[in-house]
Amino acid sequence: MNGQTRASIRPGAEVMIVLKKDQRTGTLTRGAVKDILTKSPTHPHGIKVRLTSGEVGRVKQLF
């Protein structure tokens, strides 16, 4: 699944995100969703979330 739709992401879900600093390389970071930051129902680059670790990025994969 991809992370472009807000309805498919819930707090506590395990996801892979790309951090702002890693956008050029595409390096993914795994973690659990704490907050959903994007308000719109969809986003072409992925829904922006905050992980429980405090890192912020756009969702690329859901588990």
**CATH value at residue 27:** 2.30.30
Q: Which residue pairs, CB below 8 angstroms and at least 24 apart, start in 38-44?
A: 38/6, 40/6, 41/5, 41/6, 41/7, 42/4, 42/5, 42/6, 43/4, 43/6, 44/4
Structural domain count of the chain: 1
Q: Categorize the per-residue pLDDT at 2 as very low, low, confident or very high, splitting at 50, 70 and 90.
A: confident
What pLDDT does residue 42 have? 96
In a domain, 41, yes or no: yes
In a domain, 17, yes or no: yes
Mean pLDDT of 18-47: 97
Of how many residues is the chain composed? 63
In a domain, 33, yes or no: yes
Confidence (pTM): 0.93
What is the domain range of residue 43? 6-62
- Determine the straight-line distance between the first and last CA of the chain, rounded to whole angstroms: 8
pLDDT exceeds 80 at position 26: yes
